[in-house]
C-alpha cells in the first residue's frame, strides 16, 4: 500500500421507483497519495459526488455500493461494518459540504459545532479542542478568531461559514478531506479568500484532499491532479498541468473550450442608429415599510438609470445582494419600484405588472435562475409551453401543438420531450424549456436572471450559444443578469456593474480589461483563470479588498 486512497473497480447501483436497478458508477479506479489534492470534475450526474461520498463508505439513500474496493488508510470502507465506518469519519476522513449554510445547525453556536467531532470521538478535552479550533480559525484567516466561535451561523457571511465548515472538518486531524463544491455558491470576490485559505491549510498540514467541482478554473488553482468523470466512468486522469495543456479526451476538451474567450457576434447594422427599446430613469426599489416620502426603508436598488437598445443586450453584473435581481423584478413589475420611470418601446409602463396591459406583459418576459422552481412540476412540458400560446395568442389545439414543436426545435430539444414532466429532464433541458416558454409569448425583450448560474460550464456555454442564435433569428433584446463575468462578456454589448444597489460603471466588453471604477477592478480581477499559478500570483490591492470585499 503506497497510496492513502486506492479505489479499485468501484460500482454503485441505484434503485428507481419501478424497482429497476441502474448502475451509476461503473468501475471507477483512482489513487490519492499522501498530501495530494485530487479534483473530481464532470457535469452534474457524472457521479463525482457519489464517488467522493463513497470514500466515507457512504452511499446516498436508494444507492448501494455493489462492488469494488475503497481502501482508505489501509481500511476497505466498502466492506467495513457501519459502526467501524463511523469511527473513521471525522478522524481519518472529513467532509466539507457544498452549502455550509445548510450544514450548520442554526440553533447552536459555531464553536459547539466545530468541536463536536472531538467530543463524539473523544479525541481531546473540550478546552484543548477550543484552542485548536481558534488556531484553525486563524490559519483559515477568519476575522476575530477568538470571538467568532461564540457567534451563531446566521451571524457570519457565506464565505466565512464555508471556511468554518472546513475548520469543523480539520479539527479531527483527518488524513483526507472531501470538498464537495465548496465555493460554487460563493461570489468570485469571496471565493478567492476561501480558496486561498483552503490551499494554505491543506499545504501546511500535508493533508490529502478530494475536491469535487465542475469549475475547471477553480480546480486548476487548488488541485495537483484532475480526474475527469462522465456517466459514472473515469474519462481521463492527469496532473493539472497535463489536463490543462494537453487534454486527450474529447469531453475534457469540451470543458476547456467552454473557457476560451468567445467570439462576440459582429453586427451588420453596427453603424445604423439603434433605437432604444427600454429606458429606465432613476429607478428606486426596496423592501420593508414605506416611509413618509414614499420610499421603502431598505433600498435594494437606488436611482438606477439604463437604456436597452433594440436588438442589443445589456449585462448587469455584481455580487449577491447588490440588487441586480431586484432590478430585474422591478423592471418586470413583480416587485413594483417605489419611484422612477420605465419607458418600454416608446410608451411609459405602469410600475406594477398587475396594471400593465396584456400586450405589454407579453412583450417583456422574464426567465428565472432555477428552472426547477420556474416550471410547474405537476404539468407536462407541452402544457407549460403552450399556456402562453393560448393566453396571449389564443391559438387552437392544432396550431398550439404545431407551435410547441417549433419552439422545441428552436431551443434544440427533441420533440418527444413534450410528454415528459420537468422532473424527468436534466438541468440544461429544463432551462431550455424555461426559455422556450418565454419565447412562446413572442417577446421583444427577455430578462434573463442568472439563467446559467445553476448549470455546468459546458451546458451553460451551450445555452449562451443558443441565446445568441435566437437573437440573430428573432431580433430579441436581452437584459442579462449574472455574477459571472465571462458569461456576460460573451453575449452583451454593454455591461453595467452594480454595487450595493447602485450603478457604479457601464462599459463595453472590449474595455473589460481596463475598468475605471475600483469595485469593477476588484470584481474583474477576481474571476479565476485556467492558469494554475493564477491564485498564487494574484496580488490584490488590500485597500480595495477592505473596502469592497466581504471577508
Residue ranges that bind another protein, judged by CB under 8 A: 15-21, 332-334, 353-354, 356, 358, 361, 366, 368, 370, 373-379, 387-388, 391-392, 421, 423-424, 437, 441
The set of cell numbers assigned to 303 is 436611482
d(CA 532, CA 277): 43
Cβ-based neighbours of 336, under 8 Å, separated by 6 or more: 285, 330, 351, 352, 353
Q: In angstroms, give the least distance from the CB of 231 to another protein.
A: 14
Q: In angstroms, give the least distance from the CB of 173 to another protein.
A: 40
Paired sense of beta strands 339-344 and 276-290, if any: antiparallel
C-beta of residue 452 within 8 angstroms of C-beta of residue 475:
no
Q: In angstroms, give the least distance from the CB of 387 to another protein.
A: 8
Three-class SS state of 541:
coil
Cβ nearer to another protein, comparing 21 with 257? 21
d(CA 28, CA 499): 45
Cβ nearer to another protein, comparing 131 with 379? 379
Alpha helices in 305-352 (DSSP H): 324-332
C-beta of residue 177 within 8 angstroms of C-beta of residue 163:
no
| Cell numbers 468567445: residue | 262
Cβ nearer to another protein, comparing 139 with 364? 364
Q: CA torsion, points 70, 72, 74, 76, in degrees to nearest 10? A: -30
DSSP count for the chain of H helices, then E strands: 22, 20
Q: In angstroms, give the least distance from the CB of 430 to another protein.
A: 11
Residue 509 gets which letter from DSSP?
Answer: G
d(CA 176, CA 77): 13
| Cell numbers 499545504: residue | 203
- Distance set, CA 475 to CA 46, 157, 313, 451, 472 (Å): 36, 42, 11, 20, 6
Q: In angstroms, give the least distance from the CB of 22 to another protein.
A: 9
Q: In angstroms, give the least distance from the CB of 452 to another protein.
A: 16
Cβ nearer to another protein, comparing 18 with 539? 18
Query: How many Cα atoms within 13 Å fall on the side-chain side of residue 127?
Result: 0
d(CA 341, CA 343): 6
Cβ nearer to another protein, comparing 17 with 473? 17
- Distance set, CA 110 to CA 167, 177, 426, 471 (Å): 10, 20, 36, 49
Please state the length of the chain.
551
Q: In angstroms, give the least distance from the CB of 45 to another protein.
A: 11
Using CA of residue 186, residue 191, residue 197, residue 200, what is the dihedral sign?
Answer: positive
Cβ nearer to another protein, comparing 437 with 483? 437
Q: In angstroms, give the least distance from the CB of 523 to another protein.
A: 27
d(CA 203, CA 35): 8
Q: In angstroms, give the least distance from the CB of 320 to another protein.
A: 17
What DSSP assignment string belongs to 394-447? Answer: ---HHHHHHHHHHHHHHTT--GGGGGS-GGGS-HHHHHHHHHHHHHHT--SEEE
Please state, as a whole number, how many other Cβ atoms lie within 10 Å of the Cβ of residue 81.
Answer: 8
Cβ nearer to another protein, comparing 351 with 437? 437
Cβ nearer to another protein, comparing 387 with 521? 387
Cβ nearer to another protein, comparing 130 with 387? 387
Q: In angstroms, give the least distance from the CB of 395 to another protein.
A: 15
Cβ nearer to another protein, comparing 21 with 348? 21
Using CA of residue 56, residue 197, residue 4, residue 219, what is the dihedral sign?
Answer: positive
Cβ nearer to another protein, comparing 66 with 141? 66
Cβ nearer to another protein, comparing 89 with 356? 356
Q: In angstroms, give the least distance from the CB of 366 to another protein.
A: 6
Q: In angstroms, give the least distance from the CB of 389 to another protein.
A: 11
Q: In angstroms, give the least distance from the CB of 514 to another protein.
A: 37
Cβ nearer to another protein, comparing 17 with 270? 17
Amino acid at each position: 500500500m503506497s497510496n492513502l486512497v486506492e479505489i479499485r473497480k468501484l460500482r454503485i447501483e441505484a434503485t428507481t421507483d419501478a424497482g429497476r436497478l441502474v448502475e451509476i458508477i461503473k468501475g471507477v479506479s483512482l489513487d490519492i497519495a499522501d498530501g495530494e489534492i485530487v479534483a473530481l470534475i464532470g457535469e452534474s450526474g457524472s457521479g463525482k459526488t457519489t464517488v467522493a461520498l463513497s470514500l466515507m463508505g457512504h452511499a446516498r439513500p436508494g444507492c448501494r455500493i455493489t462492488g469494488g474496493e475503497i481502501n482508505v488508510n489501509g481500511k476497505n470502507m466498502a466492506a467495513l461494518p457501519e459502526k467501524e465506518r463511523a469511527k473513521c469519519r471525522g478522524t481519518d476522513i472529513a467532509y466539507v459540504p457544498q452549502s455550509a449554510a445548510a450544514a450548520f445547525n442554526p440553533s447552536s453556536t459555531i464553536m459547539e459545532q466545530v468541536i463536536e467531532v472531538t467530543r463524539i470521538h473523544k479525541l481531546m478535552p473540550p478546552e484543548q479542542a477550543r484552542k485548536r479550533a481558534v488556531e484553525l480559525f486563524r490559519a483559515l484567516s477568519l476575522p476575530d478568531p477568538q470571538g467568532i466561535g461564540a457567534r451563531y451561523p446566521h451571524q457570519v457571511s457565506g464565505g466565512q461559514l464555508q471556511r468554518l465548515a472546513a475548520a469543523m472538518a480539520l479539527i479531527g486531524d483527518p488524513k483526507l478531506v472531501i470538498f464537495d463544491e465548496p465555493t460554487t455558491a460563493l461570489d468570485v470576490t469571496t471565493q478567492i479568500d476561501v480558496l486561498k485559505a483552503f490551499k494554505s491549510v491543506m499545504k501546511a498540514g500535508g493533508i490529502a484532499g478530494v475536491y469535487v467541482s465542475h469549475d475547471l478554473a477553480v480546480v486548476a488553482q487548488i488541485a495537483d491532479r484532475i480526474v475527469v468523470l462522465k456517466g459514472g466512468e473515469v474519462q481521463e486522469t492527469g496532473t493539472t498541468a497535463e489536463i490543462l495543456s494537453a487534454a486527450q479526451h474529447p469531453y475534457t476538451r469540451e470543458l476547456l473550450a467552454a473557457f476560451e474567450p468567445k467570439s462576440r457576434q459582429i453586427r451588420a447594422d453596427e453603424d445604423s442608429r439603434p433605437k432604444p427599446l427600454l429606458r429606465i430613469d432613476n429607478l428606486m426599489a426596496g423592501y420593508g415599510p414605506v416611509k413618509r416620502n414614499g420610499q421603502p426603508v431598505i433600498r435594494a436598488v437606488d436611482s438606477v438609470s439604463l437604456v436597452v437598445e433594440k436588438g442589443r443586450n445589456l449585462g448587469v453584473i455584481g455580487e449577491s445582494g447588490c440588487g441586480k435581481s431586484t432590478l430585474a423584478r422591478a423592471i418586470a413589475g413583480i416587485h413594483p419600484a417605489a419611484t422612477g420611470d420605465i419607458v418600454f418601446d416608446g410608451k411609459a409602463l405602469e410600475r406594477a405588472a398587475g396594471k400593465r396591459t396584456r400586450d405589454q406583459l407579453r412583450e417583456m418576459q422574464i426567465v428565472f435562475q432555477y428552472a426547477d422552481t420556474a416550471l410547474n412540476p405537476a404539468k407536462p412540458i407541452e402544457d407549460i409551453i403552450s399556456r402562453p400560446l393560448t393566453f396571449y395568442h389564443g391559438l387552437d389545439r392544432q396550431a398550439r401543438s404545431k407551435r410547441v414543436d417549433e419552439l422545441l426545435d428552436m431551443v434544440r430539444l427533441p420533440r418527444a420531450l413534450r410528454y415528459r414532466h420537468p422532473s424527468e429532464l436534466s438541468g440544461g433541458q429544463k432551462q431550455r424549456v424555461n426559455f422556450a416558454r418565454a419565447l412562446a409569448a413572442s417577446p421583444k425583450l427577455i430578462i434573463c436572471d442568472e439563467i446559467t448560474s445553476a448549470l455546468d460550464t459546458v451546458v451553460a456555454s451551450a445555452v449562451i450559444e443558443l441565446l445568441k442564435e435566437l437573437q440573430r433569428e428573432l431580433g430579441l433584446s436581452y437584459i442579462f443578469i449574472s455574477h459571472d463575468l465571462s458569461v456576460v462578456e460573451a453575449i452583451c454589448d454593454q455591461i453595467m456593474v452594480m454595487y450595493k444597489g447602485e450603478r457604479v460603471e457601464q462599459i463595453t466588453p472590449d474595455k473589460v480589461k481596463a475598468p475605471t471604477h475600483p469595485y469593477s477592478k476588484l470584481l474583474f480581477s477576481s474571476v479565476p483563470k485556467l492558469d494554475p499559478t493564477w491564485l498564487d500570483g494574484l496580488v490584490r490591492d488590500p485597500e480595495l479588498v477592505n473596502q469592497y470585499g466581504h471577508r
